[in-house]
Every structure is written in C-alpha cells, then in structure tokens.
A and B are shown apart, each in its own frame.
Chain A
Amino acid sequence: MFSYCSDPSVLEGFTWLSCYLTTGTHMLFYASFGTVLLVLAITAPVALLFGFGGAMAARSRIAPLRWLGKVYTSMVRGVPDIIFFLFVPIALDQGLEWLRSRFYCDPSVPVRQGNDFVVCAAAKLPLSSSPSWVHDIYGIALAIIAFSVVFGAFAANVLYGAMGAVPRAQIETAEAYGFTSRQINRRILLPQMWTYALPGLSNLWMILIKATPLLFILGVEDIVYWARELGGAKTRAFDYPHPDWRLYYFLGVLVFYLLMTWVSERLLDRVRARLSHGQATLAGEAMRKAAA
C-alpha cells in the first residue's frame, strides 16, 4: 500500500501497523463486509417473498397448495441451517450440472463414475476456464438461494401467525361490507398483519444477520472467516508475523455486528412506531395519549 511497506521485517510500531492493516488480505477482509451487506440486502427481500408465498400457500383453500406450504415450512424449519448448508448446495450444484450435461454432453456417458460426479467440460457450472470472480459470484448466488430458502420458511411461519392474529372483528366487518376475499386480503389482512408480524420478522432479521458466518460453509469468504484467518498466530513464514490475535479481531467483528443491530433496531423502531399508529394495542394507545 504505502511505499515504505516493501520490507515489513524492518518496520516497527505505527508504520508496521499501518502496513499490516493495509495488506491485500486486510483489503479482502474489509471488502468482505461489503459482501456480507450485499448478501443480506438481497437475501432479506427474497426470503420475505419466499415467506409470503409460503404463508399464502399455507392459508390457501386449495388443499395441495396448502399442504405444499405446510410441508415447505415444517421441513426446512426442521433442519439446522448449518446442516442444510453442509450438503444442500453441493446437491444443488450437482443437480444443475446434471441438467446442463443432458444438453451439452454426450448423454451416454454416465454422470456417476465410481465415486466421481463427472460432467463434460461444457456442462461445468461455472466453466473451469472462467475467471475466479465468476466462481465467486456463482458461490454467492448459491449462498443467497440457500439462505432465502431457509429464512423464507421461518418468515412464512411468522407471516402465517400474523395473518391469524389480525382481529377477527375487522375481517368480519369487511365481510359485512361485502368485500370479496381478495379484497379482504389486500385491504384489511395484509396492511393490518404487519404490526403483528414485525416483532417476529425483526427477530428473524437479527438472526439472519448473525447467520452470515455460515457463508463460509457455502464457500463465500465472510468477515468471520477473515477474522479467524488474519487473527490466528502468524509464524515467520509470513511477512507480518504476530501472536494469536483472534481476540482483537473477534472484538472488532463483535462491534460490527452490534452496530448492525443498533442501526437495524433504530430503523425497525421507526417502522414499529408507524405501524402501531392507530392500532387498538397498548403501544397504539400510548401514542394516542402522548399526542393528546
């Protein structure tokens, strides 16, 4: 980074630290914060969509759809996410490559050869010749899908509960006004359920933030991977030898996560205040009194 960094072994004190903190690996460490934020930013809405679909399916009048919704939520919720991530992405990857191999390869060559799963070079996903960023993006995409499937199942459960928590009287009033069930869904159920769904969803968001260390199992290098990697004792084989500094790195990561939580809570509080407004709940009542 800096010109004086070319020979780290002669550096000391602050200059050593300034060089150390700007090495390529540290840059990757800082960039991984961005990766994590990106994954979160994409996963949250996608998972919410999955959850919404799941909840609507579970409430559906059509039996097979209802069963599908229930099976999805209970199956995926049943498996710890670590275990899900340990074999589902490999299976997903092999599934996709198998599909591609049916189009791009000679179908008479078996995909399974002994222990090996082999598809021809053209069916590889991504192609072995593609640059490493393509592999990275592919890994991140798989990770996002896996995360969304898992957290969608939990979101479905929260939304399903919230839809059930909307006061019956409101639905009945709407029915009395001659609303169709579609109109009830759109005008009453969905707007009203958010205040009930919010505590559960915000909890889920907090859990999602803290599930990001599992990204490493999916081959995405996240903050915690780098903290562990950089913090571990470095012997003289390295340019910047140092003892076991994992504690400091983990404290740094801890601060990041606390900050994320703090910001999320501020934002969620605002949303909550907005949703509580005019609701027939204690919080809504407190707001009414404060205004009066």
Chain B
Amino acid sequence: MNQCLQTIADYGLRAFGYGERLLPRSDFTLCQQFTLIGSGLLWNIYFAVLALAAGFVLANALALCKASAHPLLRKPAEWFIFVFRGSPLFIQFFLAYEALVLLPRAGIEIFGLTVQTGWVTRAWAGATLVLILNTAAYSAEIFHGALRNLPRGEIEAADAYGFSGWQRFRKIVWPTMLRLAWPSYTNEAIFLFHATTLVFFSGFPAFQQKGDALYYARYFAEQTFNPFVAYPIVAGYFVALTLLLIWVFGLINRRLNRHLPGAARKLRYRPNLIR
C-alpha cells in the first residue's frame, strides 16, 4: 500500500513531466499501470475540455452561418464544415503538423515583437487547435440539422408574441435547437473525448515520454507483451469518465427538456421503478 502511494507520488503527474524521469522498466505492478495511465488521462481531459468549450462556441456561430441566407456567410461555413467533417482526424493531424513545423523556428516579427512559434508544434497547442476545429465542424452540422427541425408552431408563437429577431433567437430558437440537438451532441462530445487518444497515437510526437492514457497503455502493453491488462485499464478509465460525461450532459438535457410533458413523465415514473 505504502509502495503504491510512493508510486503515485512518483508518477501521478508524470504525463506533465513532474516526478520520476524514467518510466518503470521491469517488474510492472498494477499500481504503476493504474497510476501512469491515470496520469496520461489528464491529457485526454485537458484536450477534451478545451476543445469542447471552444468548439461549442465556434459551432453555434458556424451553424447560424450555414443556416444564413447570405452566401458570404453561408459558403465559407459550408466549406469549413465539409472539409473538417469530410476527412479523417488523423489526416488533419498529419497535415496540421506538417504545416506547423514549416513556421519559422526563430519566431515571427510582428510590430517589432518576436512571436515565438516553437510551441505550436507541441501537442498541447497544435493538437488542441485541430480538435477544436474538428469538433466545431461536427457540432455545427448537428446544430444546423436541429435548426432545420425547429417546430413550426414555436416560431409562429414567438412571432405572435411580437418577439424581435434577437429575442426570438435567444428565447425560442436557440434553446429549442439545443434541445433537439442535445442527444446527438452528447454523442459528438463522447467521440471527441475518445478522439483525444489519437493525438499521440498517430498525430503529434511525445516529448520525454509525456503522453496520454493510450500512450502509457501502449508502453505497458509493449513492455509486458500482454494487451489484456493495460488496455482494459484505459478502457475502464474511459468508461468511467464517459459515464460522468453522459451524466453531466443528461443533466443539461433534462434542464433543456424540463417544460415538456415527456420529461415530466419520466420524473413521475421514477419512484415506481424504485419500488
């Protein structure tokens, strides 16, 4: 037990470069595997949270642009969504990495200030950028689909109440769009979270063996030649976190649907189930 605490102290933040420099080489314990893979998981969470937060905002803007009647707004949004939805993520990683390493190493001069560029080829910046753009495109498509499916009656009701454009959007269109899009958006969030495992798998290089959960799982699977321990551990971690994610998104979903008879019915039925 104490030994395991020591391992956690040594490797708990190894993925960010703190603690022991060398990874364990022999006599692998379960504790080591859980600790290191868990430490890598922090990267997956980092990528997912940043990409989802930034991607959500961007996706809303893109969906509205795509639904716009004005071609100057619609066309670029359509193309952006098409390209990012139309290509595999790891090709996006590959091309992004190839492009980012072309930036001048010494930095770019802007108004006398030298902007460092070395960091953009690192996973924490470069991969996050790709993930943001990727999830924005997928989510925008979902939101756009939901916009098309807005119930006619709700818009008519808003018009009847004399809601102006922004008011109508803020109070009727946007909440209803989210409500309709939410189950698919939950899926997209899960996909994105899972896609973070691709960052070091085929996208960006790992420095000093600082990698994500799958990176360490692969390390252990390679060292022990046994896929049946390390991979189920990552899988377990991901199931737990995905359940958490589904739960959070479910809460939001319930809030979005709280005025609907179906949602109310669900709540009423609950006690029956427990009995």
Contact = CB atoms under 8 A, between A and B. Distances in A.
Interface in A64-94: 74-75, 77-84, 86-87, 90-91
Contacts of B234: 80, 83
Given A157-B183, A257-B87, A82 B149 contact: no
Nearest to A195: B149
Contact of B141 (A78, A81, A161, A199): A199
B261 A283 contact: no
Contacts of B145: 198-200, 202
Contacts of A240: none
B86 A262 contact: yes
B6 interface: no
A206 B85 contact: yes
Contact of B187 (A80, A168, A198, A204): A204
Contact of B183 (A86, A115, A158, A167): A158
Given A82-B198, A161-B183, A262-B82, A283 B149 contact: yes
Contacts of A285: 152
Given A199-B142, A280-B153, A254 B187 contact: no
Contacts of B251: none
A83 B148 contact: no
B163 interface: no
A165 B180 contact: yes
A50 interface: no
B131 interface: no
Contacts of A246: 94
B42 to A, nearest CB: 16
Contacts of A167: 151
B150 A253 contact: no
Given A87-B227, A210-B87, A285-B152, 9 more contacts: A78-B238, A78-B241, A79-B239, A81-B194, A165-B183, A168-B261, A199-B145, A200-B183, A261-B87
B62 interface: no
A254 B89 CA distance: 10
Interface in B148-166: 148-153, 155
A42 interface: no
B91 interface: yes
Contacts of B239: 74-75, 78-79
A276 interface: yes
A258 B92 CA distance: 12
Contacts of B261: 168
A200 B186 CA distance: 10
A250 interface: yes
A79 B235 contact: yes
B150 A203 contact: no
Interface string B203-226: 000000000001001000100011
B246 interface: yes
B205 to A, nearest CB: 15
A196 interface: yes
B194 to A, nearest CB: 4
Contact of B217 (A83, A203, A247, A254): A83
Interface of B: 82-83, 85-91, 94-95, 98, 138, 141-142, 145-153, 155, 180-184, 186-188, 190-191, 193-195, 197-198, 201, 214, 217, 221, 225-228, 231-232, 234-235, 238-243, 246, 260-262
23 contacts: A74-B242, A80-B193, A81-B194, A82-B214, A83-B234, A86-B221, A198-B145, A199-B149, A200-B142, A200-B187, A203-B141, A203-B187, A206-B85, A207-B191, A213-B90, A250-B91, A250-B95, A257-B86, A261-B82, A262-B86, A272-B148, A281-B149, A281-B152
Interface in A239-254: 246-247, 250, 253-254
A254 to B, nearest CB: 5
Contact of A79 (B94, B152, B183, B238): B238
Nearest to A76: B239
A224 interface: yes
Contacts of B194: 79-82
Contacts of A164: 262
A90 B227 contact: yes
A283 B141 CA distance: 15
A202 B86 CA distance: 12
B152 A282 contact: yes
A285 B151 CA distance: 9
A52 interface: no
A154 interface: yes
Contacts of B227: 86-87, 90
Contacts of B91: 224, 250, 253-254, 257
A115 B190 CA distance: 35
B146 A199 contact: yes
Contacts of A91: 228
A211 to B, nearest CB: 8
Contacts of A161: 182-184
Nearest to A201: B184
A173 to B, nearest CB: 14
